Amino acid sequence: MTFTIRKARRQDAPAILHLIRKLAEYERLLDHVECDEARIVAAFFAAEPKVFCDLADEAGAPVGCAIWFYSYSTFTGRHGIYLEDLFVEPTHRGLGIGRALLRHLGQRCIAEHLTRLEWSVLDWNEPSIGFYRSLGAVPMDEWTRFRLAGEALAALGSGKSQVRNA
């Protein structure tokens, strides 16, 4: 099987949404997907996009994706890449596509003098954790990821949040 890695194009929006939905299904989070093709076009293909997508094509059809954006480290004073999503169709796993997508991002990091490539993985996703470890990636056990969303984010942003004792 031959596949290529390429930058996503505007006409790929339906395929990108399909891959996002397949990833959400795999992660048991399909009911959380609010994204649609219009949002993908607006985000990925804006005049100055803030998020990017690389696709893995096999026989001209996308079978995998890496969705990413630039991060910044105040400690190093340099940018890096944060990989938001990596997904390969189940029928195409084990063929080197995920590794090729990550290698492509690694090459970008080197070419642009970026300091790191990082991502998150669900604790229960042992196949992915094993794959990432095989690449030399290490878990950041000393860090806890936090998220503000929904009502809590709206309250904070509007100045109406209440301080709670921890």
Catalytic residues: 132
Interatomic CA distance for residues 126 and 158, integer angstroms: 40
Interatomic CA distance for residues 26 and 23, integer angstroms: 5
The runs of H, that is alpha helices, within the chain are 13-26, 37-44, 97-111, 126-134, 150-158
Are 108 and 70 spatial neighbours (Cβ–Cβ below 8 Å)? no
Residues 6 or more apart whose CB falls under 8 angstroms from that of 72 comprise: 78, 79, 80
